[in-house]
Amino acid sequence: MSVVKWGILSTANIAKKAMIPALKNCENAEITAIASNSGKAEETANEYSIPKAYQSYEELLEDPDIQAVYIPLPNTMHKEWVVKAAEKGKHVLCEKPAALNVKDAEAMSEACRLNNVLFMEAFMYQFHPQHKRVRELIAEGVIGEIRHMRSAFTFKFDFEKNKQNIRLDKNLGGGSIWDVGCYCIHSTKYILGQEPKEVYVNASIHEGFGVDTKAAGILSFENGMTASFECSFEQPMRDFYEISGTKGTIKVPFAFRSDRFVDGEVSIVILDEKGEKKKEVLKGNQYEIQAAHFGHCILNGEKPVYSSEDTIRNIKAIQACYESLKLNSPVRL
């Protein structure tokens, strides 16, 4: 079987804990090199048996053996390194959010198009089989016509111990909406299959860090559907969504971090009009499925299911949320 040879730009925790193990388990992937500007490349390469370690991102991009790169750098660095990777002929899988504004996202997409390489933003959760099943149930009319969807992604963050964390750095794209609220917004659009026409958001801004540490919002759609979301660094771990229709409700209790469970095994719950429940269990490693899909697209010249156009639309919606917060009023898209 043909394989894609990968390079990893950065020794970030998400790379070490999730993507490197996922790529190592993919039949169509081979990790060739890792690079770090912090001097940790060799240590990480030894830990994960990666053949090459580079002391700069530029060196890795010059490696002719590497076909694709995974970029888990801070949000504000994505554009620079996506463009540089594309110019070196490397396909790019970039962590979410790919950019902090539409202009940068469009520039990244255009650089990849001009250099004939594939680009995909790493919203890994969407590759878990449970979401495809939810969409099937909706299409089958199991819960009737959708009226509302609500979602939440929250976790408790120790601000005192993590003062230097990029999630709390305003200049690096920190804040709960960019970090976890983006999943709620993305899943709403993905499951409902529509773009919001208006958003309204309220949030708590940390006095010291200047970033939103808790936020809640309402999204309105053309056909009358509505959606609500909340995201937070101040509350215990929750990562769910539920869709309410005229005939019932679908609940997805572990929507975004199914990787917390063995084999990614989670369940979805379907409630009918009488409240009677039916449960379906699904499993899968969302990081592995994501990596395998992107590798398949590279090897077969296919377009990823999650396109750069989808990324641009999602960033537009998130930007509108921040604009609403700034204006303290609804914002139309």
CB 204 within 8 A of CB 154: no
30 pLDDT exceeds 70?
yes
Question: What is the rounded distance in angstroms from the CA atom of residue 248 to the CA atom of residue 134?
Answer: 13
Q: Please state, as a whole number, how many other Cβ atoms lie within 10 Å of the Cβ of residue 226.
A: 16
Residue 306 lies in a domain: no
Q: Which domain, by its residues, includes 12?
A: 4-122
From first CA to last CA, the distance across the chain in angstroms is: 45
Residue 88 lies in a domain: yes
294 pLDDT exceeds 90?
yes
Residue among 122, 123, 98, 116 at smallest CA distance from 108: 98
Domain end (from 122, 138, 167): 122
The pLDDT of residue 32: 98
The torsion angles phi and psi of 12, rounded to 5 degrees, stand at -60, 155
Provide the number of structural domains found in the chain: 2
The pLDDT of residue 38: 87
Residue 305 lies in a domain: no
Residue 24 lies in a domain: yes
CB 218 within 8 A of CB 149: no
Residue 303 lies in a domain: no
The pLDDT of residue 1: 65
User: Following DSSP, what letter does each residue of 106-171 receive, concatenated?
Assistant: HHHHHHHHHTT--EEEE-GGGGSHHHHHHHHHHHTTTT-SEEEEEEEEEEE--TTTTTT-GGG-GG
Question: What is the rounded distance in angstroms from the CA atom of residue 10 to the CA atom of residue 19?
Answer: 12
With pLDDT > 70 as the criterion, what percentage of the chain qualifies? 100
Q: Are residues 113 and 136 in the same domain?
A: no
Domain end (from 102, 122, 142): 122
Q: Are residues 172 and 118 in the same domain?
A: no
Q: Are residues 61 and 154 in the same domain?
A: no
Q: Which of 16, 79, 96, 214 is catalytic?
A: 96
Average pLDDT over residues 61-68: 98
pTM for this model (two decimals): 0.95
Residue among 185, 192, 120 at smallest CA distance from 153: 185
Q: Are residues 193 and 219 in the same domain?
A: yes
CB 223 within 8 A of CB 132: no
Residue 139 lies in a domain: yes
CB 129 within 8 A of CB 252: no
Looking at residue 201, which CATH number applies to its domain? 3.30.360.10
Residue 302 lies in a domain: no
Q: Are residues 166 and 282 in the same domain?
A: yes
The pLDDT of residue 226: 98
Q: Are residues 213 and 322 in the same domain?
A: yes
Question: What is the rounded distance in angstroms from the CA atom of residue 91 to the CA atom of residue 233?
Answer: 33
Tokens of 168: 């709390």
Looking at residue 27, which CATH number applies to its domain? 3.40.50.720
Q: Are residues 132 and 159 in the same domain?
A: yes
Q: Are residues 73 and 130 in the same domain?
A: no
Give CA separation, 212 vs 77, 115, 270, in Å.
20, 37, 34
Per-residue pLDDT reduced to its tens digit, 216-258: 999 999 889 999 999 999 999 999 999 999 999 999 999 999 9
Continuous segment of H or E residues that includes residue 3: none
Domain end (from 91, 122, 153): 122
Q: What angle do CA 171, 175, 177 make, to 5 degrees?
A: 130
Q: Give the SS3 label for residue 272.
A: strand
Question: What is the rounded distance in angstroms from the CA atom of residue 292 to the CA atom of residue 26?
Answer: 6
Per-residue pLDDT reduced to its tens digit, 46-55: 999 999 999 9
CB 268 within 8 A of CB 278: no
Residue 294 lies in a domain: no
Average pLDDT over residues 80-91: 98
Q: Are residues 35 and 118 in the same domain?
A: yes
Quick one: 240 exposed, middle or buried, by C-beta within 10 A (0-12, 13-18, 19+)?
middle
The torsion angles phi and psi of 258, rounded to 5 degrees, stand at -65, -20
Which segment of 1-5, 101-105, 113-117 scores lowest on mean pLDDT? 1-5
Q: Are residues 106 and 143 in the same domain?
A: no
The pLDDT of residue 223: 86
Tokens of 185: 């917004």
CB 34 within 8 A of CB 64: no
37 pLDDT exceeds 70?
yes
Non-local CB neighbours of 265 within 8 Å, separated by 6+ positions: 258, 281, 282, 283
The pLDDT of residue 227: 98
Q: Are residues 146 and 273 in the same domain?
A: yes
16 counts as catalytic: no
Q: Are residues 114 and 46 in the same domain?
A: yes
